[in-house]
Amino acid sequence: MSLLPFDAFLKNVSSKPYQITKAGYLEEGKYPVVDQGQKFITGYSNNDEKVFKNDESVIIFGDHTRLIKYVDFDFVIGADGTKVLIPVDDSIDTKYAYYHLLSTKIENLGYSRHYKLLKEKTFVKPSMEKQQEIVKALDKAKELIGLRQEALDKLDELAQSVFIDMFGDPILNPNNLVIKKLDDVSQKITDGEHGTVARTETGRMYLMARNISKLGELDLTELSFISEESHNKIFKRCNAEYNDLLLVCVGATIGKCTLVPDMKDFSLARSVALIKPIKTEMNSKYLLYFFKTEFMRRQIEKSSNASAQAGLYTGAIKKMKIMIPSLNLQKKFASIIEKLEVQKSYYKVELDKLQENFDALLAQNFEG
């Protein structure tokens, strides 16, 4: 077993000839686009000249996001900051290297570049037989996670189907429901603190885009804190409360949203917008699921700029269009969703256990 520096373990493949900008992404096409974003495939392209011919497999490392992906098909590389890595030679299994990178802790520098930190790490290289044994065990654990995630996704799909059945597709609006600007049915639409806020070891939670998970929940595993004084100043303008909508409005995960649960007051950073619905006009769960529709996704995409550090500003959010059915029908929808959420909660407990098992296997093989 050998302990290797980065340059003796992995090498960076020049990806510039195969990159396209986010503005060039298509909704459908011949070739998938893989970049450093949260989604595994973030778009498509028909540009034959930009296809990265993937004879075996490669690892994607997000220079800004620290996200790691294993890709074993031909694809187009999306946007700046997407590093393509392969083993330095045949003595290192690509899937083994991928799992090793997943176990590697890299400090979060925000939207700065992280590849330089990765290059400072060292990596364990056992025999090829041992590498493949490790890969087999981790593949199985990952497969179980995928199956449970699929079950959760199906519940989300069911919820969206219920939405369409009850209200119609907002793109077509077959029931001729009233369309209003989001600002007209909201008490307040704002975003978090724009200035620099001093962090503290303890204090009030200071939540940002990373704290809204891909599952549409608050993720409090990686927290920042600020003083009571700073919190009070921010909270006067941006007072997130129970059942308000939080919307990621800066960065790679724009559009992710969740409702505020019953919890202690916290402050928001600029990367999260706050939407307070007028309770006599709009139910919070209806608002949440409206934001998950294709109609709203298109509005968000159109309103946010196409740079790597995309931004969705409050002025644009206020102008977004939303269908307004009767409040009674919205509440009926919310009641159905609450029953589905009970089932989702069971699945999430199981998913957490499977993830803990996977993380333990990673630690056992790469950190011990």
Query: Are the C-beta atoms of residues 86 and 98 closer than 8 Å to each other?
Result: no
Which numeric CATH code is attached to 2-125?
3.90.220.20
pLDDT tens digit at each of 368 positions of the chain: 788 999 999 999 988 888 898 888 998 999 999 998 888 998 999 999 999 988 889 999 999 989 999 999 999 999 778 999 999 999 999 999 999 999 999 998 877 899 999 999 999 999 999 999 999 999 999 999 999 999 999 999 999 999 999 999 999 999 999 999 999 999 999 999 999 999 999 999 999 999 998 778 899 988 999 999 999 999 999 999 999 999 999 887 899 999 999 999 999 999 999 999 999 999 999 999 999 999 999 999 888 854 445 688 999 999 999 999 999 999 999 999 999 999 999 999 999 999 999 999 999 998 75
The DSSP annotation for 317-353 comes to HHH-EEEE--HHHHHHHHHHHHHHHHHHHHHHHHHHH
- The CB density around residue 195, as the number of other CB atoms within 10 Å, is 8
Task: Show the tokens assigned to 79.
Answer: 């946007």
Task: Show the tokens assigned to 100.
Answer: 């090793």
What whole-number distance in Å separates Cα of residue 186 and Cα of residue 83? 42
Q: Which residues of the chain does CATH 3.90.220.20 include?
A: 2-125, 178-324
Assigned architecture for domain 127-169+327-368: Orthogonal Bundle (1.10)
Query: Bridge-partner residues for 70, per DSSP?
Result: 59
Tell which residue, 9, 78, 92, 3, has the closest CA to residue 41.
78
pLDDT for 310 equals: 65
Ramachandran class of 108: left when φ > 0, alpha when ψ lies in -120 to 50, beta otherwise? beta
Alpha helices in 244-326 (DSSP H): 284-290, 294-303, 314-319
Whole-prediction pTM: 0.71
pLDDT for 38 equals: 83
**Residues 160, 166, 172, 175: what is their CA dihedral angle, to the nearest 10 degrees?**
-170
Query: Are the C-beta atoms of residues 319 and 302 closer than 8 Å to each other?
Result: no
The DSSP annotation for 124-156 comes to EE--HHHHHHHHHHHHHHHHHHHHHHHHHHHHH
What whole-number distance in Å separates Cα of residue 108 and Cα of residue 283? 36
What whole-number distance in Å separates Cα of residue 226 and Cα of residue 285? 30
DSSP label at residue 315: H
CA pseudo-torsion sign 41, 43, 46, 50: negative
Query: Are the C-beta atoms of residues 338 and 162 closer than 8 Å to each other?
Result: no
pLDDT for 368 equals: 57
Ramachandran class of 251: left when φ > 0, alpha when ψ lies in -120 to 50, beta otherwise? left
DSSP label at residue 14: P
Which fold, 178-324? Answer: Adenine-n6-DNA-methyltransferase TaqI; Chain A, domain 2 (3.90.220)
Q: Which residues of the chain does CATH 1.10.287 include?
A: 127-169+327-368
